[in-house]
Structure 1
Amino acid sequence: MAVGVAQAVLAWPVLTTGAGAMSAPVHMARETGAWNLALAAAFLAVAAGPRLAAGALPFLGSFAALLLPVTLVDLAAGHVHAERAVAHLLLAGTVLVCSVAWRARRRRAVGAFAGRRVPA
């Protein structure tokens, strides 16, 4: 829940004003804000309904897997400031979503092994 709220707090000003996304044109900044708000919505949805975690992983996992190397390369080349890159640490929420999905999977497996289904 905290990761989703923090992501939304970072996304909202960029989405509404188009400012804050480095020197990007307003439309591109707003697209970035919309994307980040979508990330926030995914984190909040999983916090509200943990059974959704496995379904959110393709979206969150692919984004995190692509963003990490791009950000590291851009940091090394000086294309992005460290304070901007730190905002991407919220994608650590993807690890939290993975753990929620994994725990739910294990509960279902244990329930099936015991001869009964455990609600997700």
Structure 2
Amino acid sequence: MPRAAGRPLRADAQRNRDKILSAAVRVFAEDGLDAHLERIAKEVGVGSGTLYRNFPTREVLIEAAYRNELSKLRDVAPQLLESMPPEGRCASGWAASSITRPPNSAWPTRCALWWNPAPILTPAARR
């Protein structure tokens, strides 16, 4: 029976959904996007009915797994960027920004301000 729109999942149903998404990422990474969905259900310990109730088609499951992984990356990106040295933030910051918000033309400027390659050039190369 489908749940009413806007109504949150029960805690156990949410745990099953989260486990299905995690297993889907693992199985798709190992076997490709044509992997047997029954394997995902079996790994999680749920019936195929539970899997299909949450994800009616393969495409819906693939998209949900992809979005879930992007969401995890988006959530940790700021902490990862803060832990990196300034020269590493340039490329990583640009990549994270493309996930967390629309493209931003300010990144090249920020990169130039964060990392000035001139100090690492040898005196002969500066001439």
Instruction: Provide TM-score, normalisation by structure 2.
Output: 0.30
Instruction: Provide TM-score, normalisation by structure 1.
Output: 0.31
Greater Rg over alpha carbons, structure = 2
Structure with more helix by fraction: 1
- RCO higher in structure (CA 8 A, sep ≥6): 1
